[in-house]
Chain A
Amino acid sequence: MSMPKIELNNVKKSFGNKVVLDGVDLTVNKGESMVIIGGSGTGKSVMLKSVLGLITPDSGSIKIDGQKITTYSQKQRDGLMGQFGMLFQGGALFDSMPVWQNIAFGLIQSKKMGRDEARAIACKKLQQVGLNANTGDMYPAELSGGMQKRVSLARAIATNPDIIFFDEPTTGLDPIMADVINDLIVNCVKDLGATALTITHDMASARKIADKVAMIYEGKIIWSGDVSALYDSGNSYVEQFIHGRAEGPITKHANFKA
């Protein structure tokens, strides 16, 4: 059994007295596509940002390739970022620069590539996500939501990362565009041979992208397994979530607390 690519052990994080992550355990193997499902505000983004090092957890350990990164220095972290790609929930494109510079940003700034060469790669990545080359000269604000998501995707994969994170890649898109993005994600991850960690509450997307699925609830991973086992998990929380039922243990619990 080879070493897991990403490993979270008992990761906890609170903001003020609000507990968001309450002991998350998660293992993602190399080349695997893991999808995290869970309701809004359950701490999915916080978990992802903890792995990326954008948020420092209060306790617990996070390992990448067996190396504990929670104790890394700033310099080691910068080196680590080179093998990450991230698609942010809101796109997070730099609105002060045209699309091609957004995509080429990592290549120019951290891989120290020349502008012309980086631009050529940016154009190729644009085509890979189904946009034509003259989109490259437009600014993010001029693009539709779906196009922005594609550009973000192109930026996330531009540096050929080892591990790619997708935070709600299809939220806010129409079903057809969502499926286009799903296909792109599947292809990009396959092409790169990368490990992928995706957050979503879109079940169609989860079914398409995932090898493995994990569900987060009240700051813990309450179920995880192969995507094929998702529909007979035998877990009533998972059942309610994947079928989108208003009645069930999740809402019952919430009402009880409120």
Chain B
Amino acid sequence: MSIETIKNYKLTHMAQNLCQSIGAALLGFFQSIGALAMFIGKAASHCFRPPFYPRLILKQFIDIGYYSLPVVGMTALFTGMVLALQSYTGFTRFNAEGAIAGVVALSVTRELAPVLAGLMVAGRVGASIAAEIGTMRVTEQIDALVTLSVNPFKYLIAPRVIAGTLMLPLLVLTADIIGIYGGYIVSIYNLGFSSGSYVEQTWDILTKIDVLSGLYKAAVFGFIVSMMGCYHGFNSGRGAQGVGTATTYAVVSASILILIFNYILTQVFFS
């Protein structure tokens, strides 16, 4: 055999290997998409069919909604504040200081409150859901539920998904108010705007769709966060390592999905 044929042989071999591993990866990818879609369908359908567990849903309302208030509130406050400050330093170049109130109000309600609240909740709630359900999986508590004739989709997953989807809009509404208030504080006490005209400008520019679109986004983000937490926890691998991986996946996948869906929803609402 000449050197050339050996080289050729090696090349085709490499190409074959490459195709094989790409094929396997693609197959795996579609398989997991399919599994995820089935899980979401099953989980969502159980949210609407009895028996319901009001006690558990209420507990999740408190865990997901109430206990996220501090972190979401802090995020909104400082975001509103820095937004006012940045707009001021930027806008003075164009003599457009008057637009600050509007910029703060629109950015907070349309984008920053839902996205930042979604990401914070993904870190806080998504991780804890994945860790809790994952631990229940590896310690066989989920199997124990089944042997006691309780459907884990209804008992564990539906309350979290319901609470996530309903609570995030409330959190974002709160974040809207706090965020705008943050911008107000900086504008009035730091930049010397007059309180009356700032409030007036805010009210003038805000329309219903600005706030509502943010709240719709929040509902979708809440669904994504709780669903990712449940999915990765429910399918957690074995042992402590399995739970750790599940938690990481839950947070990362929820965060990325939030950013992707934020773009899609913005396109839907404002074009």
Contacts and interface: CB of A to CB of B under 8 A. Distances in A.
A105 B139 contact: no
A197 to B, nearest CB: 13
Interface residues of B, number: 12
B149 A52 contact: no
Interface string A62-84: 00000000000000001001101
Chain A CB within 10 Å, residue with most, of B146, B148, B149, B155: B148
A90 B139 contact: yes
B31 interface: no
Interface string A41-79: 000000001001110000000000000000000000010
Interface in B129-183: 139-141, 143-144, 146-151, 155
B148 A106 contact: yes
Contact of A49 (B139, B143, B148, B155): B143
A157 interface: no
A140 to B, nearest CB: 10
Contact of A82 (B139, B141, B146, B149): B149
A53 B148 CA distance: 12
A82 B146 CA distance: 10
Contacts of A81: 146-149
A16 to B, nearest CB: 13
A110 B149 contact: yes
A89 B140 contact: yes
Contacts of B150: 105, 109-110
A194 interface: no
A109 B149 contact: yes
B148 A92 contact: no
Interface of B: 139-141, 143-144, 146-151, 155
29 contacts: A49-B143, A52-B143, A52-B146, A52-B147, A53-B146, A54-B143, A78-B151, A81-B146, A81-B148, A81-B149, A86-B143, A86-B147, A88-B140, A88-B143, A90-B139, A91-B139, A92-B139, A92-B141, A92-B143, A93-B141, A93-B144, A94-B144, A95-B141, A105-B148, A106-B148, A109-B149, A109-B155, A110-B148, A110-B149
| Nearest 3 A/B pairs, CB to CB | A110-B149, A92-B140, A92-B144
